[in-house]
Amino acid sequence: MPDHDHDHVIAATFAPHDHRECAHRALDEAAARLAEQGARLTPVRRRTLEILLESHRAMGAYEVLDRLAAEGFGRQPPVAYRALEFLVTHGLAHRLQRLNAFAACLHPGHDHHPAFLICRSCDKVAEAAAAPIRDALTAVAAQGGFRVERATIEALGLCATCAAEGVA
């Protein structure tokens, strides 16, 4: 996916869209990527990803766990944490530090460390191209002799859809 599509991607997350298609495609891409890497998409892992993909919101580990338990998987925290950690490690989900929560990655393999835009009204989370932001950060840090290795960039604000609906 070329960089100039990113504005489209952000808008697509917040605007109404064919979510079935959207989730399905992400799942397919995920399966393909894992096959390449020789990693296994087991039932719990697959189901965890599907649950995250049901909405564009971030979910807490215990929210995911409740769902898994209700479907016959284990009901202890490690079940959810392990599946989530696996997904994050393989670039199929992201962890949102501000929220202590997890969200499915919508375009795995593209930019594994995007910036996150969290709408405070509808709670949806979009991924944005982090490269220009990370560049600015790296530059500022370099002036102080600091070498940036990993960056957490999360913005809280209002999405276009909620703004259009008159949310202040």
Partner DNA sequence: AGCGATGCGTTACTTTATTACAATGCGGTT
Partner DNA sequence: AACCGCATTGTAATAAAGTAACGCATCGCT
Contact set with a copy of itself (CB under 8 A): 6-11, 14, 97-98, 115, 117, 119-120, 126, 128-129, 132-133, 135-137, 139-141, 143-161, 163
Compare residues 1 and 139 and give the one whose CB is closer to a copy of itself.
Answer: 139
* Segment contacting DNA by CB under 7 A, of 69-77, 115-123, 131-139, 141-149: 69-77
Range 11-15 contact pairs with CB under 8 angstroms and sequence separation of 24 or more: 11/160, 13/56, 13/106, 13/124, 13/125, 13/126, 13/127, 13/159, 14/56, 14/119, 14/122, 14/124, 14/126, 14/159, 14/160, 14/161, 14/162, 15/160, 15/161
Q: How far is the CB of 126 from a copy of itself (least distance, A)?
A: 7
Helices 61-70 and 43-53 pack at an angle, to 10 degrees, of: 120
Residues 6+ apart with CB under 8 A from 10: 117, 126, 127, 128
Nearest alpha-carbon partner for 30 in 78, 73, 94, 75: 94
Q: Which does 61 bind (CB under 5 to 8 A by kind): DNA, a copy of itself, none?
A: DNA
Compare residues 62 and 158 and give the one whose CB is closer to DNA.
Answer: 62
109 binding DNA? (CB under 7 A): no
Give the one residue of 23, 27, 83, 130 binding DNA; rule: CB under 7 A: 83
45 binding DNA? (CB under 7 A): yes
44 binding DNA? (CB under 7 A): yes
Where do contacts with DNA occur on this chain (CB under 7 A)? 39-40, 42-45, 60-63, 73-79, 81-83, 86, 100
